[in-house]
A and B are shown apart, each in its own frame.
Chain A
Amino acid sequence: MEIPYTVKPRPDTGLYNAKVGIWLFLASEVMLFGAFFSSYILLRVGAPDGFWPDVATAWPHGLLNIPIGTFNTAVLIISSVTVLLAWASLKEGNLPKFKKFMAATILCALGFLAIKSYEYNEKFTHYVIRLKDGTAVTGHLDIDGKSPRFWSLATVEAKKLESIKVHVDVPNQFRYPVGFKHETHEEAEAKTGGHGGGHGEREIKTADIALLQAFIPKTGTFFAIYFTMTFLHGLHVLGGAIVMAYIAFVGDGMWKTDPERYTNRIEVAGLFWHFVDLVWIFLFPVVYLL
């Protein structure tokens, strides 16, 4: 006996096996990401809002690049459309058209990942610096014109730097006092040498620094959950892209031997791809906008 309904749908359920399988798998994925979103909510309601005392313990806003995130959302939505058109092309029996749309889908996926990597790098070179006098700043380090990644206070001390140059972020938005020592806007501007909200340069003595940390997962719970959720989502994008590239450009011999099964494969891969897109549709507003 052979396993039935691997290609043709079972009459009473109207589904072939793989379609049942992928829907069940997606149900479990909903629970997986659902747990992360629930954790996000719980961690967030338990955290002080805004920038007090600093980004390491509070729940910061505005640190993610919204235009880039919006663009990436569009990239992913377009890829969801192209994968659908690819499947429709197969239904029409048009393999070259299918391959074009699949190529577009995979390019979108890779583009999404490239943009995400750029954003990650942006975070890894972005620092929170807490001084011993209780104030804190965020900004990019300027070490001989370079913007290093993943430094900590230990790195600065190991390199025996007396002081470091910091491009401090827009004062109003990113400068904030620690503890109860509030600074006025003018004081802050005076300190950073800012000119009405531009990036100010500031020389900070190593001896004054209490904490120096890049925006990496351990810097605070916001970064922890941001990186965990987007990385897990990124892995899904990567996995989906690899599988779709394999089906479309390596395993396309099946189109000749068993076109219906081949079309089903694209449908199943497409369902997964729509899900990955859908997760991002929730992820984007939650971590970028709210």
Chain B
Amino acid sequence: MHTATTHAQAHGHGHEHAHEHHEPGFWAKYIFSTDHKMIGIQYGITSLAFLFFGFLLMLAMRQQLANPGQPVPFVGKLLEKTLGADAASGGVMQGDLYNAFGAMHGTIMVFLAIVPLAFGAFGNYVTPLQIGAPDMAFPRLNMASYHLYFWGGVVMLVSFFIPGGAAKSGWTSYSPLATLADMDRAINGQTMWLIGMVLLITSSLLGAVNFIATIIQLRAKGMTWMRLPFFVWAQFVTAFLLLLAFPPLEAAGLMQLADNVLKTSFFLPTGLVTSGGPVPVSGGGSPLLWQHLFWFLAHPEVYVLILPAMGIVSEVIANNTRKPLWGYKSMVYAALGIGFLAFIVWAHHMYLTGMGTKISTFFQTTTMMISIPSVIILTALFISLWGGSIRFNTPMLFALAFLPMFGIGGLTGLPLGFNASDIYLHDSYYVIGHFHYVVAPGTIFGLFAGVYFWYPKATGRFMSEFWGKVHFFGSLVCMNLIFAPMFVQGLRGMSRRMYDGGATYFGNGVDPGVLWLNKFITHAALGLLIFQLPFIWNFFSSLFVGKKVESDNPWQATTLDWQTPTPPPHGNFATEPVVYRGPYEYSVPGAAKDFIPQGQKS
């Protein structure tokens, strides 16, 4: 807390700061840091760990789908020991555990892994650097934001070990299922989930306020809005989505918490009966209300997942094609358009709830409209490649793969946006294939590109190109082998909810001929695990053995983040940066070099 105090004083009387400056201790430097770069790294490490953990949950589920009723290899005994015989008797994953892992896989991947990595880590580390700011506008708020996120994650992890296990009603936590599961336990997994979510929501709320205030207030001299790198625009729109879409889920979460703990009936309808008889609640609530409030967040959340990745990919592509982004302004307006439309498409997740054809038609129309700005950004990035002398380094490979992968994810979403075709495809493996194409080889590839791209700035060393390429090609192949077959399974009518992979349901000669793909996908997922090992090794070993950077601007980039010392010190810039030009002045005819940094006068 010592830095925080000196910092607070420094606001009041800056002249005293210089001679009071001393090296902070371990706790102040690494744990209670108010420096946006350290907080970015904290976010990065924590969220990458959660990303891997969420992936392992999915692997355990995949093995159950491929070999229903077989013990989970390697960890089966451990699961039985730690989670109880009810959950994994004899190391075999039981239905409840499958549901819990499924719910927590989704929750962890979305709220604890990808958003914190895309927004918390990259946003924190890079945004102030790119706008020429010394830090975020509210450094202590920034610290609080990380700590809330961390404890939210701890609550989620602890919930695996409480009696009854973690939340098991899907990451969407639909009521009344979410309230009725484990209703007899005072503190159950769902209650822990809600407490964790309230912490996470508060965290991203503080983060969003901080990001927007920083981008509005702390832009360097000359950094006009249309000179902002696209990455900053993407983070700006993302922050607005988080700021305005999360509070309704917080409200919904508080109401579901009341349903669980105080036994209210916000989301429980009148006349609710389970196998145990009538549910002893007053009733009168609305399950649809939960879905509306949930998806009011959760659809904008999709754009929270994708926009920062688009921002990273744009930076990497402009840098490695040595060309300005094609249609920078239209990309900015498209991002703003996405930001606006994201708020009025949520009920396309609810076509099957019977909310009425007129409402469905409205949301179908807006859903088709929002594909336009997404396509504008993707098209602009594709055209940016045209005629460039492309450097195929690891960040660029990931950025290039992002384009078609996100394209597949986006295009396969259209049949889900039309309510006629959605009625057939809803809740099938097709849906899983669709959104994983957007998020896994889409967003996560964008994030990997960012890790490889900014690693030299944060550490002063490159990550290994060789292991990076092994990581890239292996992941690209495996991702497609995992998710493409899911489209086939879904089109043949396989539901996403069957914990034995459909073995029971599809027995007796109605096998749609796609069950063998379960094993296939599981093998591909194992392959994906193997190809992440080079990344983990590369990430840590490069700290010590990676090739050292020879300058502060190893990629010959134009944006301000590369004009700082490496790694950037507290306060970031040696001298106050002034911006004279747009963000992507690559290959300017007649210029001495093929790039002109934003801070270079002429």
Contact = CB atoms under 8 A, between A and B. Distances in A.
Interface of A: 1-7, 10, 13, 15-18, 20-21, 24-25, 27-29, 31-36, 38-39, 42-43, 46-47, 56-57, 216-221, 224-225, 228, 232, 254, 257-258, 261
A35 B248 contact: yes
B124 to A, nearest CB: 15
Given A2-B17, A28-B247, A228-B254, A47 B137 contact: no
B33 interface: no
Nearest to B296: A35
A217 B260 CA distance: 12
Contacts of A224: 255, 258, 262, 264-266, 285
Interface in B165-179: none
A3 B209 contact: no
Interface stretch (B54-62, B211-219, B450-458): B211-219
A20 B213 contact: yes
A7 B11 contact: yes
Interface string B244-288: 111110111011001000111110001000000000011111101
Contacts of B13: 257-258
Contacts of A38: 248
Given A39-B252, A261-B12, 6 more contacts: A27-B243, A35-B296, A220-B265, A221-B265, A228-B254, A258-B12
Contacts of B289: 39, 42-43
Contacts of A4: 134, 217-218
B282 A43 contact: no
Contact of B248 (A34, A216, A217, A257): A34
A3 B135 contact: yes
A17 B262 CA distance: 40
Contacts of A258: 12-13
Contact of A220 (B138, B141, B284): B284
A60 to B, nearest CB: 12
Main secondary structure of the interface of B (DSSP, over half): helix
B255 A39 contact: yes
Given A24-B208, A257-B12, A3 B254 contact: no
Contacts of A32: 247-248, 250-251
A46 B282 contact: no
Contacts of A10: 217
B264 A221 contact: yes
B10 A31 contact: no
28 contacts: A2-B17, A2-B571, A3-B137, A7-B11, A15-B217, A16-B217, A20-B137, A20-B213, A21-B138, A28-B208, A28-B243, A28-B246, A32-B247, A32-B251, A34-B247, A35-B248, A36-B251, A38-B248, A217-B264, A219-B282, A221-B264, A221-B266, A221-B282, A224-B258, A224-B264, A224-B266, A228-B255, A258-B13
B416 interface: no
B293 interface: yes
Contacts of B250: 32, 35
B473 interface: no
B139 interface: yes
Contact of A221 (B10, B262, B284, B576): B284
B132 to A, nearest CB: 9
A172 B253 CA distance: 39
Contacts of B321: none
B42 interface: no
Given A35-B248, A43-B286, A217-B262, A57 B270 contact: yes
B209 A2 contact: no
Contacts of B264: 217-218, 221, 224, 228
B285 A43 contact: yes
B191 to A, nearest CB: 15
B247 to A, nearest CB: 4
Contacts of A47: 284
B212 A24 contact: yes
Contact of A1 (B208, B258, B283, B576): B576
A37 to B, nearest CB: 10
A217 B286 contact: no
Which of A4, A216, A218 has the most C-beta atoms of chain B within 10 angstroms of its own C-beta? Answer: A218
A43 B11 contact: no
A216 B262 CA distance: 9
B284 A218 contact: no
Contacts of A216: 262
Given A3-B139, A36-B251, A57-B282, A31 B209 contact: no
Contacts of B576: 1
Contact of B281 (A3, A13, A35, A218): A218
